[in-house]
Amino acid sequence: MAVRITEIVIDALDPEAMAEFWTRVLVGWSVTDVDRMGHVNNAAYWAAVEQRLPDVGVDPRRPLRARLDYRHPIDHGETVEFAESFEDDDYVFAFVVDSTVRAVGRIEALV
């Protein structure tokens, strides 16, 4: 069964299910991506998403609606996987640490 981003209401994803239906890449953060609390800042999440858009065929010059829901902070030094897929023509993604979803989002074309 496909894991749909709209159905992710729990904090953990089965790594095997993700491997079957999602593409996963490692995300690297720099020291400047971290706030005073030691958490990755909001702009760094979006930078990681924007880096992936051309690779998955999403033109960032088109009108897009983007949503990102934070669930748990990501701390500097944690190994982060960026899980991505397409659902109903929308680009969907999740930031995952040790099978725990830390943030989840969706980008949809407006035209």
Tokens representing residue 57 in the block: 């065929």
| More confident site: 66 or 30 | 66
Residue spans of the domains in the chain: they are 5-109
Cβ atoms 85, 5 nearer than 8 A: yes
| Separation between Cα atoms, residue 60 and residue 37, nearest integer Å | 31
How far apart CA 36 and CA 86 sit, in angstroms, is 34
Structure confidence by residue, pLDDT tens digits, 43-64: 999 999 998 999 999 999 999 9
Model confidence over 25-38: pLDDT tens digits? 667 778 888 888 88
Taking residues 64-89, report their average pLDDT. 89
The CATH homologous superfamily to which domain 5-109 belongs is Hotdog Thioesterase (3.10.129.10)
Neighbours of 107 (CB within 10 A): 20
